[in-house]
Amino acid sequence: MNLVNSLFGQFSPDVFLLLPLQIISCLLALSWFTLIFPTNFFSGRINYIWNVIRLESIKILFQNVKKEALPWISTLTVVFFIILSINLMGLFPYAFSITSHASFTYSLAIPLWLSVNVLGFYIAFSSRLSHLVPQGTPPFLIPIMIIIETLSLIAQPIALGLRLAANLTAGHLLIFLLSTATWLLISNPVISSITLIILTLLFLLEIGVACIQAYVFTSLVNFYLDQNL
């Protein structure tokens, strides 16, 4: 039991100087306003880099977006940068990544999925119902197809939130195990060095995973939106 508690203890919010780290996280999140609203504190070069990152991210995320989905671009862009920021900050030492908790990922996935589907049924109710029964389905298979399509529709937010939480949790656990092994094997320099190299490579991989998972989450929401419009 103690081993399990220590293994998953990294996912419990920590405190610093008797203050929850959420306060520090909120202050870091508010720092984005300095990039959104340029000030004299930051040079024009930093604002230029931020604009390049923002514009290139929008191009990658919304390559084939429909005209009807254009009002959603700003919302999905905000979701992308929120998830990306949390994922990257969670890789810092003694940081807490809330995207590794299903409660947070589902609090994003379910409202977005629900709003997209409600909008789809509101705009084209008959068309959305027709998707439950593919064209050419034999009459005796129609009830079964309705059940299958309904279950697949309900599974979308479950997979959307679980994918993000599971991938980040797995990566953080591997980093925790390798860092612990590196420290415990410090008496053996050869094995400890090999473990440290693997840990460094895994950390670089996790940076890519943090970016990819933010992209995948936003792209799937955009895909669901295209299906409903």
Could you please report the per-residue DSSP string of 83-131? HHHHHHHTTSTT---GGGSHHHHHHHHHHHHHHHHHHHHHH-HHHHHHT
Q: By the 8 A CB rule, do 221 and 76 touch?
A: yes
| Domain spans, the chain | 2-30+62-228
| DSSP H helix total and E strand total for the chain | 9, 2
pLDDT number for residue 16 = 55
- Residue 117's pLDDT is 81
C-beta neighbour count of 12 within 10 angstroms: 8
- The answer to whether the beta carbons of residues 189 and 80 sit under 8 Å apart is no
pLDDT reported for residue 225: 81
Which tens digit of pLDDT belongs to each residue from 164-197? 888 888 888 888 888 888 888 888 888 888 888 8
> Tell me, what's the pLDDT at 5?
46
Q: What is the pLDDT of residue 8?
A: 52
Place of tokens 């079964």: 144
Q: Which residues of the chain have pLDDT under 70?
A: 1-47, 94-96, 125-131, 134, 229
